[in-house]
Amino acid sequence: MTPTQSPMPRSILFVCNQNAVRSPMAEALAKRHTKGRIFVESVGLIAGALDPFSVAAMAEEKIDISNHEAKTLQDVDLHAFDLIITLTPESHAHIVRLIGDSRPPVEYWPTPDPSDAEGNRSQIMDSYRLVRDHLEVRIADRFTFP
């Protein structure tokens, strides 16, 4: 570990707005990448309905998130995590207000909302794939094991 690297967390919480698109994807990808070596969970500022395009994009990677149930911040103890990763400006601002300068550390990974995509089904799916692939790269880069 170099001086600029932080130690590998034992637990990660991904936070977005509704726990319906980005954070469930990030949770599933992180679980697959870390192979159980890190506890991973996700929540939203509010609970939303799981987005079927997210389910389809993850299924392309042989990851089933169809049983994901949206959770909110009230469902977890923020201080029980070693690292919180926020994926939206709203979730980042809210988490920073809640925990201030205390632990755990917070990382902000700006992630576009693929549900804003327009066009035919193929074009919309491309937006979800881009977000999925972006998260996959970020997770692989951040949580590499020796």
Per-residue model confidence as pLDDT tens digits over 107-124: 999 999 999 999 999 999
Q: With cut-offs at 50, 70 and 90, classify the pLDDT of residue 145.
A: low
3-class SS letters over 43-92: EECCCCCCCHHHHHHHHCCCCCCCCCCCCEHHHCCHHHCCEEEECCHHHH
Q: Are 28 and 40 in contact (CB under 8 A)?
A: no
pLDDT, one tens digit per residue, over 63-78 is: 999 999 999 999 999 9
Task: Name all domains of the chain by residue range, CATH numbers in brackets.
Answer: 11-142 (3.40.50.2300)
**What's the whole-model pTM score?**
0.92
